[in-house]
Amino acid sequence: MTATLPEPVRTLAFLDGAFVPAASGATFESIDPATGTKLADIAACDAEDVDRAVASARTAFESGAWSRKHPSERREVLLKLVALLEENLEDLALTEAIDAGKPITDCREFDLPDTINSIRWYAEAADKLFGKTTPAGDGAVGMIVHEPIGVVGAVLPWNFPLAMLAWKLGPALASGNSVVVKPPELTTLTTLRFAELATEAGLPDGVLNVVPGLGHVTGKALGQHGDVDAISFTGSNEVGREFLRYSAESNLKKVVLELGGKAPQIVTADNADRLELVAEDLAEAAFGNMGQNCTAGSRILVDASILDDFVDALVAATEKAVVGDPLDPATTIGALVEESALHRVARYVDEAVADGATVRTGGEQVLEETGGWFYPPTVVTDVREDMAIAREEIFGPVVVVLPFTDLEDAIRIANDTPYGLAATVWSRDIDDALTAARSVRAGTVAVNGYSEGDITTPFGGYKASGFGGRDNGLEAFAQYTETKTIWITLR
């Protein structure tokens, strides 16, 4: 599984339009998840580098070189970036596959196209963010306008590095902000290359800065910085709480959080004649990206009357997966992102089995001889609702199946979690489908097919799954803009 990164490999911080080493000279290692070997040494930024990045972003913002550029001009620069991303799609996909252990086919066919589409969509939306006038009567004019918030800190997750970068940069840049990106320490390389392409497209120096580094150092410095106006974070609940604290301890910057999930997938009895179709869809929902997805369908709730037949169909669908070299186009399940993830996933399964659960397929590390961190798709049954495997986010290729007695029982189980990011309902009965969709406490509920929606639909969570705003859709602009009232008295 020896892999070679395509040139150029960028490993330095990107500040004010140039690649520079960390001020301290420190670096950290980027590791190939498929082999456990080092890929590169990457600049490890600290508070001094964050200060430089934020100062660069602030200077660029106040200069107006981007913030006061006509929205149609910002659109043209972003569309040039889209063209460059398309030209470099293969190299970016290859880099992402190697750096993250993701199947190359997923990177080529899903991650990169989604990244490009996100930037294109927000480029086209840049000159369509309208204000309003209010019914103020004959003596006044009330105007409501939207202005860029200023300097945005974007802190990215490692599971979809480029796609999540685009979700944040698309609306942030289209609305005129400057951005400091803290890329994921486990999957940094494509973010650095993206920044270079953005500058090549015509983004002014300082508008986009990238500070790679460790979360508890670089991310903390960005979160606590007094000249950052907003933080958009996607990641764990634990770190999300830290960003709320950082805001409170500094300048009360706006914080938007997209956090974890434990997505329920409800299968009603009227699916008895299409269980193979349902099982194929829910296996993809559970195991896509090796289960390293906050919307992964890791809890399948099945009407007790069809439970056994459904489990048989799910096991058959699961065993079609091909676990292997991420660079083999036939691979559907690559490596987990780091060794600790492998141990965490195995621990959840082993503890559940010790507590009476049954592994129907999978359940043990594979391909150990590669040195990589591979765990097969795993189906677990005979699970109680109070088990950790049924309640906590595993972030790996493990799904549990639980029975329910009726729709009310299914909704109760679905909502019995601190999370509320996503859910799926499979039902032919429109009343049942809509009742469940309206009753499940989640930001996105898909019906008759797992989905997160698309770039046009807002994405975010209820309860512990989200806070402060939404990604995607026109709603995402609210993260990165201030709403101003202008009141004009007519004399």
If one counts the domains in the chain, the total is: 2
Burial status of residue 478 (CB atoms within 10 A of its CB: 0-12, 13-18, 19 or more): buried
* Stretch 475-480: mean pLDDT: 96
**What are the φ and ψ backbone dihedral angles of 416, each rounded to 5 degrees?**
-85, 65
3 lies in a domain?
no
pLDDT digits (tens, 9 = 90+) for 123-169: 999 999 999 999 999 999 999 999 999 999 999 999 999 999 999 99
Per this entry, what is the length of the chain?
491
Say yes or no: 386 and 473 in one domain: no
DSSP 15-34: ETTEEE--TT--EEEEE-TT
The pLDDT tens digits of the residues spanning 47-82 come to 999 999 999 999 999 999 999 999 999 999 999 999
Q: Domain for residue 148, yes or no? A: yes
Mean pLDDT of the chain: 97
CA distances (Å), 201 to each of 11, 83, 197, 198, in order? 20, 9, 6, 5
CATH number, position 22: 3.40.605.10
Q: Looking at the structure, tell me whether residues 303 and 214 fall in a common domain.
A: no
Q: Are 389 and 363 in contact (CB under 8 A)?
A: no
Q: How far apart are the first and last CA of the chain?
A: 76
**What type of residue sits at position 424?**
T
For residue 364, how many C-alpha atoms fall within 13 Å in the half-sphere facing its CB?
3
Task: Please tell me the predicted confidence (pLDDT) of residue 3.
Answer: 79
Secondary structure letter of residue 328 according to DSSP: S
pLDDT at position 425, please?
Answer: 98
Q: Answer yes or no: is 1 within a domain.
A: no
pTM for the model: 0.96
Question: 294 and 159: one domain?
Answer: no
Tokens of 218: 């670089």
**Looking at the structure, do residues 398 and 296 belong to the same domain, yes or no?**
yes
**C-alpha count within 13 angstroms, C-beta hemisphere, residue 427:** 23
Task: Mark whether 272 and 229 lie in a shared domain.
Answer: no
Q: What percent of the chain has pLDDT over 90?
A: 98
CATH number of domain containing 382: 3.40.309.10
Active site residues: 258, 294
Check pLDDT > 90 for residue 34. yes
Indicate the SS3 state at residue 67.
coil
Residues 254, 330, single domain; the answer is: no
170 and 119 Cβ atoms separated by less than 8 Å: yes
Structure tokens belonging to residue 121: 């969509």
Over residues 179-208, the mean pLDDT reads 98
pLDDT in tens, 13-29: 999 999 999 999 999 99
User: In terms of domains, do 159 and 251 share one?
Assistant: yes
pLDDT of res. 1: 63
pLDDT digits (tens, 9 = 90+) for 329-370: 999 999 999 999 999 999 999 999 999 999 999 999 999 999
Whether 205 and 332 share a structural domain? no
What strand order describes the sheet that includes 151-155?
18-20, 13-15, 208-210, 178-182, 151-155, 230-234, 254-258, 466-467
| pLDDT, tens only, 387-444 | 999 999 999 999 999 999 999 999 999 999 999 999 999 999 999 999 999 999 999 9
Q: Do 234 and 99 reside in the same domain of the chain?
A: yes
Contacts of 205 (CB under 8 A, 6+ apart): 16, 17, 18, 56, 60, 199
In a domain, 337, yes or no: yes
Residue 38 domain-assigned (yes or no): yes
Does residue 331 sit in the same domain as residue 286? yes
The values of phi and psi at residue 43, to 5°, are -55, 130
pLDDT, tens digit (0-9, with 9 covering 90-100), for 254-304: 999 999 999 999 999 999 999 999 999 999 999 999 999 999 999 999 999
Inside any domain, residue 284: yes
- Cα-to-chain-centroid distance, residue 25: 30
Provide the residue range defining the domain that includes 183: 13-259+464-486
Do residues 25 and 148 share a domain? yes
201 inside domain: yes
**Percent above pLDDT 70 for the chain:** 100
Q: Closest Cα partner for 166 from 81, 65, 103, 87? A: 81
For the chain, helix (H) and strand (E) counts, in that order, are: 16, 20
Task: Examine residue 176 and state whether it is found in any structural domain, yes or no.
Answer: yes
Residue 232 CA to residue 471 CA, distance in Å, equals 9
- Verify that 297 and 239 share a domain, yes or no: no
